[in-house]
Amino acid sequence: MAFQKAVKGTILVGGGALASILGLSQFAHYRRKQVNLAYVEAAECVSEPVNREPPSREAQLLTLQNMSEFDILVIGGGATGCGCALDAVTRGLKTALVERDDFSSGTSSRSTKLIHGGVRYLQKAIMKLDIEQYRMVKEALHERANLLEIAPHLSAPLPIMLPIYKWWQLPYYWVGIKLYDLVAGSNCLKSSYVLSKSRALEHFPMLQKDKLVGAIVYYDGQHNDARMNLAIALTAARYGAATANYMEVVSLLKKTDPDTGKERVSGARCKDVLTGQEFDVRAKCVINATGPFTDTVRKMDDKNATAICQPSAGVHIVMPGYYSPESMGLLDPATSDGRVIFFLPWQKMTIAGTTDTPTDVTHHPIPSEEDINFILNEVQ
């Protein structure tokens, strides 16, 4: 194992999104290239887990306290943080991970439960000739196929119906969905198809019968994000990473680099939320994978740091299962304010929710009455 000096003391910034757990090696490479701060020359991957059973939280805390210095300390136990920890520990690096709440308590358990390339993003790519949007859709569809392959117990294809209320929209949306299949290429789950009005009403009887002219069905993936996050955290622990939840970082540790004479980050002061005990965890590199709280940790390093995170929130409500069939979801792109709304089957219930809107960062976000009423009105 070789750990280059360039990585010492840096803070690598990561997000808290579900897509970040896909293609972990690719994600790690992307982040290193994007931030341009560090590069890890790693040893051969560990072939067997160190522990057959994950150590207890008490044992993990003892490891965090007694280890003189880790190679990597990851702050944040969401999909990104646990993915970074697993990637690092299986490369032979001494790895620690701390999470303020429970694993997957934030963004990584509050998604729409979809693995999708983004039909709307593809529409923007075509309408605005935006090559970057196209590349994002292409990569997301590749990772969708990857996740369905490596975690079939937590992921599955899901047909999603797009209701059509005007005749001219039928060929318009059909071409767009077929392009979605085309961009997926060999990763296309199943070819999209057209449904007649009567067949569409069999699946979703609550649709407006007088205006409906038909529907188009396309395929995306559905995914249990929280369980995947926990599986990654447990796997990292089995391979030897010291992982502990309910451990809050209250400040960053610093020391002077003998080579440059400048201060660098050398770990974090952590507080056990359950007992109030505080202790230092020292590391050569600190990874900030706190999602919407990215800037909070960055300001611990430099209180004058410019914010780089634009938080947004999507609202979901859980409704009775009869709002959607068990094996099909619904996408409504024509809401009153132009946002997309999904109706998706999930564990015998129906999730209804919208796309993201800008918001303030709060520790426990709560949907507003306005957002809830908007969804209920759209359902009606």
The band of 70, judged by pLDDT with boundaries at 50, 70 and 90, is very high
Q: Quick one: average pLDDT of 31-48?
A: 45
Check: CB of residue 22 under 8 Å from CB of residue 146.
Answer: yes
Q: Quick one: average pLDDT of 185-189?
A: 89
Q: Quick one: average pLDDT of 101-121?
A: 87
Q: Which domains does the chain have, with CATH numbers?
A: 57-109+226-301 (3.50.50.60), 147-222+312-379 (3.30.9.10)
CB neighbour class for 268 (10 Å; exposed up to 12, middle 13-18, buried from 19): buried
Q: What is the pLDDT at residue 332? A: 84
State pLDDT tens for residues 318-331.
988 888 888 899 98
Helices (H), the chain: 24-35, 57-66, 79-89, 119-127, 131-150, 169-184, 197-203, 225-238, 294-301, 369-379
Query: What is the pTM assigned to this prediction?
Result: 0.81
Q: Quick one: average pLDDT of 161-171?
A: 91
Is the pLDDT score of 184 beyond 80?
yes
What are the backbone angles phi and psi of residue 368, rounded to the nearest 5°? -80, 160
The band of 45, judged by pLDDT with boundaries at 50, 70 and 90, is low
Q: What is the pLDDT at residue 364? A: 81
Q: What is the pLDDT at residue 124? A: 83
Beta strand 329-332 pairing with 316-320: unpaired
| Residue 322 CB partners (closer than 8 Å, separation 6+) | 350
**Cα distance between residue 265 and residue 57, in whole Å:** 26
- Residue 65, both tokens: 């306290």
Quote the mean pLDDT of the chain. 84
Q: Quick one: average pLDDT of 37-47?
A: 45
Check: CB of residue 293 under 8 Å from CB of residue 98.
Answer: no
The band of 12, judged by pLDDT with boundaries at 50, 70 and 90, is low
Q: The dihedral of CA 81, 82, 83, 85: what is its sign?
A: positive
The band of 311, judged by pLDDT with boundaries at 50, 70 and 90, is confident
State pLDDT tens for residues 204-260.
888 888 889 999 999 999 999 999 999 999 999 999 999 999 999 999 999 988 888
